[in-house]
Amino acid sequence: MSLTFYWYPNCGTCKKAKKWLDDQGLNYETVHIVDQTPSEDELQELINHSEIPARKFFNTSGKKYREHNMKDKLKNASEKEMIQYLASDGMLIKRPIVTDGKKVTIGFKEEQFTATWVQ
């Protein structure tokens, strides 16, 4: 199984997730979430496969989230608008995101990673 690992190298949570993937011997391709921000289509696909609402894909603790006043913007935003916001700036996206094209995890919780990615 080959995974895609969307991450930001300076993110502590991403580093923990990467170490966990390495420790499990899992193969993955890294995608720098800021330099190669997922497109609207890619984000739509991730959201569809994750069964997690688009709103949960936002990095609510991030500086950009506060700077762009996203809390207020998201109150009445449609899923399409949320995806447009996410695609506009990789720093707005909660990370890491891991996918195999069918399943998706957001953030890093060891129990969730074990349940999802260890066969």
Q: In the chain, what are the domain boundaries?
A: 2-117
Structure tokens at 86: 């996410």
Instruction: Give whole-number Cα distances, 61 to 2, 57, 58, 72, 94, in Å.
Output: 30, 12, 9, 14, 9
Task: Give percent of the chain with pLDDT exceeding 90.
Answer: 97
- The three-state DSSP-derived secondary structure of the chain is CEEEEEECCCCHHHHHHHHHHHHCCCEEEEEECCCCCCCHHHHHHHHHHHCCCHHHHECCCCHHHHHCCHHHHHHCCCHHHHHHHHHHCHHHECCCEEECCCCEEECCCHHHHHHHHCC
Query: Yes or no: is domain 2-117 CATH 3.40.30.10?
Result: yes
Convert the pLDDT of each residue in 53-91 to its tens digit: 999 999 999 999 999 999 999 999 999 999 999 999 999
Pairing, β 2-7 against β 97-99? antiparallel
pLDDT on residue 17: 98
